[in-house]
C-alpha cells in the first residue's frame, strides 16, 4: 500500500513539475503559418490548438518585432483561444507571436507555450521617397576599434516614417575607405585606424553619406 502511495506521489510530481509541458501536450499555434508574409498595418488572426493541455485560466498572446519591439498582446480567457492582432503601420521585419497557457489549478515552472515567426512587409503600392539617419549621426567621431550602429529611417509614400536600418529592409551600406572603417550589412560601423571616411547608405534610388572621423583622442 505504501509503495502504491509513493508511486502515485511520484507520478503527480512528474506531471505537475517535471514534465516538459509544451513538448507533450500538443499545444501549438496553427495560424498564421511560419514565415508567412503579411503587410504592415494589416490584421493577423492567431489561432491555437491546445491539444490535450488544460483546462486553462486563459492564454497570453504577445507579438514582438526586432530589438524587443512590442507589437501587441492580450490575455484571452475563453475558448476558442484566438487573438486578433492589428499590426502597426510603421513596422516591417520579423515578428514572433507567442501563446502561453495559464493552466487552471496547476503550478508549473514550464507552462505550455508555442510561437511562430512571420515577416511583415510593406504594401505593394508603398514606396520609399527619402531617407535620413538619426539626428546625431550625420557626423560621427570614433576611436579605433569602437563600434557604432547607424539608425536609418525612410519616408514613405503613405506618409509613414519607418526604421529601415536592417539590411532586410533593402538598405545597403558601403565604406569609402575600408582601411579606416568598415560597415556591415545592418549598418554597424567598426572604426579601424585614424582618418576620415564616408559611409554610403542607399535604399532604392535614395542615397546619403555619413562622415566618420576616426581619431585617437575623444
- The domain containing residue 19 runs over which residues? 2-121
Q: Tell me what percent of the residues of the chain surpass a pLDDT of 70.
A: 86
Q: What angle do CA 34, 38, 43 make, to 5 degrees?
A: 110
Buried b (16+ CB within 10 A) or exposed e, 23-38: eebebbbeebeeeeeb
Instruction: Quote the pLDDT of residue 3.
Output: 55
Is the previous residue joined to 9 through a cis bond, with omega within 30 degrees of 0? no
pLDDT exceeds cutoff 50 at 94: yes
Q: In this structure, are 117 and 181 located in the same domain?
A: no
Question: Which tops the pLDDT comparison, 63 or 134?
Answer: 63
For residue 9, is pLDDT > 90?
no
Residue with the larger pLDDT of the pair 24 and 115: 115
Global pTM exceeds 0.95: no
Sorting pLDDT into bands at 50, 70 and 90, what band is 73? very high
Residue 9, helix vs strand vs coil: helix
What 3-state DSSP class applies to 195?
A: strand
Task: Tell me the per-residue pLDDT of 129-160, one tens digit each, with 9 for 90 and over.
Answer: 999 998 889 899 999 999 999 999 999 999 99
- The verdict on 162 and 94 lying in the same domain is no
Domain boundary (99, 121, 143) is at: 121
**Cα–Cα distance measured from residue 101 to residue 114, given in angstroms and rounded to the nearest whole number:** 9
On whether both 96 and 70 belong to a single domain, the answer is yes
Q: How many domains does the chain contain in total?
A: 2
Amino acid at each position: 500500500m505504501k509503495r502504491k502511495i509513493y508511486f502515485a506521489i511520484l507520478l503527480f510530481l512528474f506531471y505537475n513539475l517535471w514534465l516538459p509541458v509544451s513538448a507533450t501536450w500538443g499545444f501549438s499555434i496553427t495560424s498564421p503559418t511560419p514565415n508567412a508574409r503579411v503587410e504592415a498595418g494589416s490584421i493577423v488572426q492567431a489561432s491555437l490548438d491546445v491539444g490535450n493541455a488544460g483546462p486553462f485560466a486563459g492564454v497570453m498572446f504577445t507579438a514582438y518585432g526586432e530589438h524587443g519591439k512590442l507589437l501587441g498582446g492580450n490575455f484571452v480567457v475563453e475558448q476558442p483561444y484566438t487573438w486578433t492582432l492589428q499590426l502597426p503601420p510603421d513596422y516591417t521585419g520579423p515578428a514572433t507571436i507567442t501563446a502561453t497557457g495559464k493552466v487552471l489549478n496547476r503550478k508549473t515552472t514550464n507552462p505550455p507555450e508555442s510561437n511562430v515567426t512571420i515577416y511583415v512587409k510593406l504594401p505593394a503600392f508603398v514606396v520609399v521617397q527619402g531617407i535620413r539617419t538619426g539626428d546625431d549621426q550625420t557626423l560621427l567621431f570614433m576611436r579605433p576599434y569602437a563600434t557604432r550602429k547607424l539608425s536609418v529611417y525612410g519616408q514613405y509614400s503613405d506618409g509613414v516614417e519607418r526604421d529601415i536600418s536592417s539590411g532586410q529592409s533593402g538598405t545597403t551600406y558601403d565604406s569609402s575607405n575600408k582601411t579606416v572603417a568598415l560597415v556591415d550589412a545592418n549598418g554597424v560601423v567598426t572604426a579601424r585606424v585614424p582618418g576620415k571616411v564616408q559611409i554610403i547608405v542607399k535604399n532604392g534610388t535614395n542615397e546619403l553619406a555619413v562622415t566618420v572621423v576616426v581619431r585617437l583622442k575623444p
